[in-house]
Structure 1
């Protein structure tokens, strides 16, 4: 356990049908895509609650869509809520980290909400790695990263490196990010590789991960949509 202030920042979107997980709407429909977003965010929030039992941790939800009031009605009053704000994802992450350190945090970790394989143990590992490394990344299967964390000292030396010409949304995001760090004198650690759920091809693995967590019944909205899309075999296999 650490006595130093730490912050976990969850990036998510309010699950409004038609505005969330839009790449999955052709397969899941607007309601199914929103339900998937809801389930994945709840899973991350539950993992954050578990982690908070063992660490002096504050949890901040940075959201798009909705409002602070709607987010609190959905996820409860136990978290701090702030909109992500304007700009590309790198700029929004830089802003969230800078604010965490300005408010006295020693270590801060940002995690996305579309990673069914995330766990409290993996989040704890990220914070622990920051005791020995400047930065920590969770590599995603699509070439990006589902998690980034840093400590206050390294951020003062290298901020805002996430604005440094990275092609966000491409398969080279992690590689580009890591290539920038040596010139700044920043070291890093890597966590386990996980799959984020953005496209139809990611769904089978996502269903398997979600089915292993609490709230399995919530998948009932998603499964029929997958089956109608001709993927019944993969869905049943993933949930068996």
Structure 2
């Protein structure tokens, strides 16, 4: 099996459009900066796998915070646009567009604490399984690795962003006949409580330092 592609599905950290649940507590600009830090940490983790990296981006980096730093981090890697009418359709299309014959290890930008060895373990598991799914603590999932990008087509019929998305995705993969392995569970950053938890887990990341720099009086 060829090396898989690490696919990051990302949204440009534009204030008012990035991390809106988090923004309700910390404000649009701060939420966008936390999202930018998370994206940079995610790119770094993907890069450190040593595998090809592809970023499927939506939104305008020209209007985002930290745009120059993000552009520099993206420069060694392939970048594609997201296409499709809804998030599930965009995920399925991104798998197809990113795959170069070695399978895909897909993550978002909500787990800045992910380590490259965890991504590599998910990719290596594709030698024995058709798919690898990493559950998120909120009931969704944070990583989906597939040996054949066509397996991601099942996402089109899965409701996204619900407390049952992870289990429904697993069922949809198995309905296609896929042998599904598990990756470790991680916390997705959606709320300020999530940000505090992940910042404490990974204090040396950009995200962790950004969270630590927010004093109580700065939030809100």
| Residue of structure 1 aligned with 2:163, choices 171, 186, 198 | 171
1:23-172 equivalences in 2 (<5 Å): 23-52=21-50, 57-66=51-60, 73-101=71-99, 104-152=100-148, 155-156=149-150, 158=151, 160-164=153-157, 166-172=158-164
Contact 2:38 2:112 (8 Å CA) reproduced: yes
Match of 1:213 in 2: 205
1:67–1:210 CA distance, 2 compared to 1 (3 A): same
- 1:220 Cα deviation (Å)? 6.1
Instruction: Give per-residue Cα distances to partners, 1:147-205, cap 9 Å, x unaligned.
Output: 101012xx45x4621112x2211100011111223332211011111000112331221
SS at match of 2:101: coil
Match of 1:183 in 2: 175
Instruction: Give per-residue Cα distances to partners, 1:118-170, cap 9 Å, x unaligned.
Output: 11011000101111000001110111101101012xx45x4621112x22111
- 1:98 Cα deviation (Å)? 1.7
- Number of residue pairs matched by the alignment: 216
2:194 is the counterpart of 1:196: no
Task: Give unmatched runs, 5+ long, in structure 2.
Answer: none
How far, CA to CA, are the matches of 2:178 and 2:36 in structure 1? 36
Contact 2:126 2:145 (8 Å CA) reproduced: yes
How far, CA to CA, are the matches of 2:153 and 2:206 in structure 1? 37
Contact 1:116 1:209 (8 Å CA) reproduced: no
Larger Rg: 1
TM-score, normalised with respect to structure 2:
0.87
Instruction: Give per-residue Cα distances to partners, 1:29-49, cap 9 Å, x unaligned.
Output: 111101110111111111112
How far, CA to CA, are the matches of 2:91 and 2:62 in structure 1? 18
How far, CA to CA, are the matches of 2:29 and 2:101 in structure 1? 38
How far, CA to CA, are the matches of 1:195 and 1:219 in structure 2? 15
SS at match of 2:9: strand
